[in-house]
Amino acid sequence: MVTESDTESIQVEIVPSRFLMPASAQKLLNEIYGNGGLIRIMIHGPNLPRSVPYGPGRGAPIDENRDLLIEVGGQAFELCVKVGRIRLELESAKFYDGLKAACERALPISFQIRRGKFFHTRQTITDYAKFGKVEDTRILGLIDPRAKKDRLAILSEERVTIDDEER
């Protein structure tokens, strides 16, 4: 029997039973952030375009999808997707129970939480095409391969970088 190490990082996926409103997403992300032990985190869900992408109404603005600012850990950034799934990596398994409790506190609806392997470890061709040789492997698995450009918000201690295009 293999004994699980509690010092290795673990990956977790949280799937709420419904799509989250920006306010609920902010609350949940802040609870997750407050729990600590976070190495990286990805939010995933359907795209929220800022204008009608095709059809007779093409180009008409969608004001509901603009300026969806949320503040996480004191830094504000703009939501580009409807939050439906959160994948994250924790420093060790000891933060897992706290994370589960954080989700229970923050989410008004039922959710699934599971451990597994959700981020890839080797560079894909898409990663290579977008970034060249990736030095910091933590960004692997955080990129939407179908987006025209990389869609990635990097929250660091110093500043917020959002690389996104108007679509």
Contact residues for other proteins, defined by CB under 8 A = 16-21, 24, 46-49, 52-57, 60, 62, 64-65, 82, 84, 108-109
Least distance to other proteins from the beta carbon of 75, Å?
24
Least distance to other proteins from the beta carbon of 17, Å?
7
**57 or 145: CB nearest other proteins:** 57
**36 or 57: CB nearest other proteins:** 57
**60 or 160: CB nearest other proteins:** 60
Cα 124 from Cα 155, distance rounded (Å): 23
> Within a 10 A sphere around the Cβ of 77, how many other Cβ atoms?
17
For tokens 């179908």, the residue is 146
Least distance to other proteins from the beta carbon of 22, Å?
10
**45 or 98: CB nearest other proteins:** 45
Least distance to other proteins from the beta carbon of 55, Å?
3
Collect all residues with Cβ–Cβ distance below 8 Å to 13 and sequence separation of at least 6: 85, 86, 87, 112, 113, 114, 115, 116, 118
Least distance to other proteins from the beta carbon of 18, Å?
5
φ/ψ of residue 44, rounded to 5 = -135, 145
Q: CA 99, 104, 106, 109: dihedral to nearest 10 degrees?
A: 130
For tokens 């008004």, the residue is 108
Look at residue 39 and give its three-state secondary structure. Answer: strand
**108 or 145: CB nearest other proteins:** 108
